[in-house]
Structure 1
Amino acid sequence: MPKRKAAIAVGGVAALGAAAFLLPNANASQDGASGDTSAAAPKVLKASDASDLASQLQKILGDALAGSYYDSNAKQLVVNVVSGDNNVIVQAKKAGAVVRQVKNSTADLRAAAKTLKAKATVPGTAWAVDPKTDKVVVTADSTVTGAKWDRVQSTVKSLGSDMATLKKSSGKFKTFVSGGDAIFSQVQNGTVRCSLGFNVTAKDGSPAFLTAGHCGVAAKDWSDSETGQPIATVDQATFPGDGDFSLVKYNDANTQAPSEVNTGNGQTVPITQAVDATVGETVFRMGSTTGLHNGQVTGLDATVNFQSETDPNGVDTVNGLIQTNVCAEAGDSGGSLFTQDGGAVGLTSGGSGDCTAGGETFFQPVTAALQATGATLGDAGAGAGAGAGDQAGGGQQAGGDQVGGSADPSASAGDQAGAGDQSGAGDQSGAGDQSGAGDQSGATADPSATAGDQSGAGQSGAGDASGTGEQAGDNGQAGNGNQSGNSGE
């Protein structure tokens, strides 16, 4: 098997316009700017440094710490403390955090979550701790009605308004099967299509990748094209329960597995480390259905109760997820959640809503998946892997006048327009005639781009994608191009 066939670039193949979000120094730390290291003034931090500081304070403050979050406007870490001990407050301030005193301790919030698990575990519900409000936020999707709604509502009410809140989601919680850089498996009911998340090195030194656990449970052997031979085999899979992740080993030990996210137009983000999510930080998600989108982390250690796909009366509960407001749709499952500076954060699990109306999306933390599988991020010593011309799984991707391929934030719309008319980046075997993510103007993560700058993205629609069948209640895997009738998971 040619090495290029397995060099699946991480994350996704749909290129979006104005990809000038790659600003490596945009949130550079300004620590020490004042020259006064003894001052108690909060430090100005980038999100990754805030996450590190939060971990340090957890060890120092212990039970006195009741969560933390990143204030992206002020670029500061805010920590909640429940102790009136001035020494605790002094230590946190000395470390460079903004300190606020709150009522609910971490133990209190965990106890509330246990009550919800015991009394309100119904399909279509989710809950996570929101350190900004110092409460557990419970979300019920559109399927939670009648007696089920009454049950959830009464449980939340019993916890008290100062401990928990309840909100309604207009969508339906589901796993987002397929998407990203497509991987395929043939099963009894048809084709399952999922997404490669991050390339890793397995514990035994072999090349592998992480993807969603519900994909690994659904099928064992995976290919980089719909009708191709398997190139990788599931080694471990967790779903439901304590996570949603799979470790899938490449069958060829010489496989080149680049540690990077492909953001389209020949642009990649090198993935250098796994990082824990911090509430309030900006994160990016890549997928072939909806392309590149960004948003904020809104909750940690989330519990999601999916409707079971095998038992009509059952529920698939997944614990320990990251909750965000980054949109996703069917076709984005397993894809990469990452930071601007190359930190691997999560694997797309599921959620509600879409990229028109918005919604909630949940991700498996990469750090937890690595710890559980014993894998590490990296290329397994195989080098940088294939370039844009050798990325398997992309199909004949018409880039269609994609403005904004440049990663240079100073480039004008005119300068960026040269990326257009990309008729396939060469030798891309796989999904076939994928004509892009479909009119995704304005999806840029660059806040300085104007509507005019964004309007040139013109990604020629979804092509002839007539859907790939029933996906956990959603019809059609957009972006699969000319692939009608695949059953999906």
Structure 2
Amino acid sequence: MRPRSRLLAIAAAVVTAATLSPLPAAQAAPSPSVDLDPGMLSAMRRDLKLNDTQIEARLRTEAAAPLVEKRLKARLGSAFAGAWIPSGASRLTVAVTSASASEAVRAEGADAKLVGSSAAELASLRSRLDKKAKSANPSVVRGWYVDTPNNRVVVMAAPGAAEAARQFAGDDVTVVTQAEQPRPLYDIRGGDQYVINGNTLCSVGFSVAGGFVTAGHCGGTGSPTLGYNNVAQGTFAGSSFPGNDYGWVRTNGNWASQPWVNNYSGGNVTVAGSQDAAIGSSICRSGRTTGWRCGTLLGRNETIVYAQGAVSGLSRSNACAEPGDSGGSWISGNQAQGVTSGGSGNCSSGGTMWFQPVNEILQVYGLSLTTTGGGGGSSLISNLNGKCLDVPNGNFSDGVRVQMWTCNGTAAQRWNFVNGTLQTSNNKCLDIAWGSTANGAVIQIANCSGNPAQQFVLSAAGDLVNPQANKCVDIDAWNANDGAVLVLWDCTGGANQKWRRG
């Protein structure tokens, strides 16, 4: 971010209260509203017991959390001990092993918790158990995982087998009882049914170029599949289970990949990418048996011992699933998370479920996730006036203040999300002048530098958030005309802070 002239600096700092203050009562912003797919919104209300205002606030926090976590993990090094969103919290919590690291955490807008073991130490302990996975007896050991909020490694034991599980795992773990043995959910667009070998039912995970990803236990390499309509669909081009639980189906020319997940309410949820959600985020899943179900992301990189063998690298959630849901989609906001592996319980009494992260599948097989994004960028449209975020007169000079303008499809209105930044068509970054976190700070473009003032995320509720400030990009003074300028402001849920990609 290049310094601007002293006169401009004073003008940016000394702005009238009438320009920056919230609207008076007579013109108050409407109550917060969540611009989510109706099916997803309904499931989050039902399963997470949240109202729309709580959902909106939560989605803002969840959108910013992965960026904050990534920056702090790199900055803190060996002092980093994991991160999560506590239940009901509006900020990320980051665990650290030294008091001196706490200040760095607070500077990023997160809460710090001092713990005894680093993330690397816990991961090393988990890896030690993973190396013994083939010898794990499923009648004794149900699985293991890193419990980040409690800074420990947990081993799940069958009832009455706690001592035997401890002998397997060692004394430096916490043993808990898991009453029911996790199992692959065989009987079960993303979320649509497909048939393997003419008799096994599973659910599609996510569309990729040339096919879709799903669970490996659903079918072995070479297994033929039929679609939801019993029309020939494709063949498993790759499959891994146990050890992992992923596979992908290469479809024939009669099937087209779409960036959609079935919401089981007559519509689709669109997939914009595959950014990993933070632990504690809300998450929903889709499958042929139980449709849409939502819960919380409880853990990552966990190992589960099925009767068929151990599977490592799974993520855990309390969103329920039942036989037939296997392979189906897990999504947080509009970001793909993974495919259903297995679990315990059901959707009547509740349960614990595990899913295979989607990014690992994409990497292993060299696949390209089908998303709503596209080359050359997309426009960012305001819900207030239907106008587009615009660089005035296509002037991409450092320090130019952005504005709103009637959508025209030019390069001045094309934007790309790149590694947590929002970039113009010629790779300048959306930027908060002077790195300010204050209400009323000017929104401009500048040379990309990687600093926190250039980090922006578009939450599933349509808020364009700067994680450092935990504030929203706002159309100043609710000005609905061409030329309206933008500022940073506390997130209110108003239409002047709501955005969608076009």
Instruction: Settle same-fold status: TM greater than 0.5.
Output: yes
Tell me how far 1:255 sits from its aligned partner.
2.9
Code of the aligned partner of 1:250: T
Distance 1:348 1:234 in 2: 17
SS at match of 2:197: strand
CA distance in 1, matches of 2:152, 2:291: 33
8 A contact 1:171–1:359 mirrored in 2: no
Distance verdict in 2 for CA 1:92–1:181, change over 3 Å: same
SS at match of 2:346: coil
Pair 1:133-2:142 in alignment: no
Q: Within 5 Å, give how 1:5-404 maps onto structure 2.
A: 18=42, 45-84=60-99, 86=100, 88-117=101-130, 118=132, 121-123=136-138, 124-140=141-157, 144=158, 149-155=162-168, 158-159=171-172, 164-179=173-188, 180-186=191-197, 191-201=199-209, 207-217=210-220, 220-225=223-228, 228-241=230-243, 243-252=244-253, 255-308=255-308, 316-339=309-332, 341-378=333-370
Report deviation, 1:110: 2.5
- Distance in structure 2 (CA, Å) of the matches to 1:98 and 1:350: 33
Following TM superposition, by how much is the alpha carbon of 1:214 offset from its aligned partner in structure 2, in angstroms?
1.2
Distance of 1:225 and 1:59 partners within structure 2: 44
Deviation at 1:266, TM superposition (A): 2.0
Secondary structure of the corresponding residue to residue 355 of structure 2: strand
Alpha-carbon displacement from aligned partner over 1:74-100 (angstroms, at most 9, x marks no partner): 22110011123x2x3222221111111
Per the TM alignment, residue 342 of structure 1 is displaced from its structure 2 partner at its CA by 1.0
Larger radius of gyration between Structure 1 and Structure 2: 2
SS in 2 for 1:71: coil
Query: What amino acid maps onto 2:344 in structure 1?
Result: S
- 2:13 aligns with none
Contact 1:272/1:377 (<8 A) preserved:
no
Matched position secondary structure for 2:146: strand
Q: Following the alignment from structure 1 to structure 2, what is the Cα–Cα distance between the partners of residues 51 and 220?
A: 37
1:356 is displaced (CA, Å) by: 1.9
Q: Distance in 2 between matches of 1:280 and 1:381?
A: 26
Unpaired runs of at least 5, structure 2: 1-38, 375-502
Whole-angstrom distance in 1 between the partners of 2:68 and 2:40: 34
SS at match of 1:103: coil
> What secondary structure, in the 3-state scheme, does the structure 2 residue paired with 1:158 have?
coil
The one-letter amino acid of 2:295's match is G
Indicate the SS of the match to 2:219. helix
**TM-aligned CA distance change 1:109 to 1:318, over 3 Å:** same
Q: By how many angstroms is 1:20 displaced?
A: 7.7
| Gap change, CA 1:137 and 1:223, over 3 Å in 2 | same
Contact 2:43 2:294 in 1 (8 A): no
Gaps of 5+ in 1: 1-14, 31-43, 202-206, 309-315, 383-489
Q: Is the 8 A contact 2:187 2:326 kept in 1?
A: yes
Higher strand share: 2
Q: Which amino acid aligns with 1:256?
A: A
Give, in angstroms, the shift of residue 46 of structure 1: 2.1
Q: Deviations over 1:203-250 (max 9, x none)?
A: xxxx21011011232762111158x45311112212222x31112111
Q: Distance in 1 between matches of 2:373 and 2:150?
A: 45
Shift of 1:303: 0.6
Judging changes above 3 Å, is the alpha-carbon distance between structure 1 residues 19 and 355 closer, same or farther for their aligned structure 2 residues?
Answer: closer
Which structure is richer in relative contact order (CA contacts within 8 A, separation 6 or more)?
1
Distance of aligned partners of 1:367 and 1:327 in 2 relative to their CA distance in 1, 3 Å threshold: same
How far 1:21 sits from its partner (Å)? 5.4
1:323–1:265 Cα change, 3 Å: closer
- Counterpart AA for 1:233: T
Post-superposition Cα deviations, 1:7-49, rounded to whole Å, max 9, x if no partner, equal: xxxxxxxx8994585999965579xxxxxxxxxxxxx952132
CA, structure 1 residues 29+294, in 2 after alignment: closer, same or farther (shift >3 Å)? closer
Distance 1:97 1:369, change over 3 A: same
Q: Structure 1 residues 48, 215: CA separation in 2 closer, same or farther (over 3 Å shift)?
A: same
1 or 2, which has the higher helix percentage? Answer: 2
> Secondary structure in 2 aligned to 1:376?
coil
Q: Structure 1 residues 24, 73: CA separation in 2 closer, same or farther (over 3 Å shift)?
A: closer
Q: CA deviation at 1:330?
A: 1.0
Percent pairwise identity: 31
Q: How many residues align?
A: 326
1:59/1:231 CA distance change after superposition, 3 Å:
same
Cα separation, partners in 2 of 1:233 and 1:297, compared to 1, 3 Å? same
SS of equivalent to 1:333 = coil
Secondary structure at the counterpart of residue 359 of structure 1: strand
**AA partner of residue 124 (structure 2):** A
User: What's 2:19 paired with?
Assistant: none
Aligned pairs for 1:439-478 within 5 A: none
Amino acid of the residue matched to residue 307 of structure 1? Answer: A
User: If the length of structure 1 is used for normalisation, what is the TM-score?
Assistant: 0.61
Deviation at 1:62, TM superposition (A): 1.4
Structure 2 counterpart SS, 1:303: strand
Find the aligned partners of 1:81 and 1:16 in 2 and give their Cα distance. 35
In structure 1, C-alpha distance between the alignment counterparts of 2:97 and 2:371, rounded to whole Å? 44
**d(CA) in 2 for partners of 1:199 and 1:26?**
31
Separation of aligned partners in 1, 2:204 and 2:91: 33
Q: Secondary structure at the match of 1:273?
A: coil
Cα distance in 2, alignment partners of residues 370 and 17 from structure 1: 28
Q: Which amino acid aligns with 2:136?
A: T
| 1:336 CA displacement | 0.8
Contact 2:85-2:279 within 8 A present in 1 as well: yes
Is the CA contact 1:234–1:246 (under 8 Å) kept in the aligned structure 2? yes
The answer to whether the 8 Å contact 1:45/1:77 transfers is no
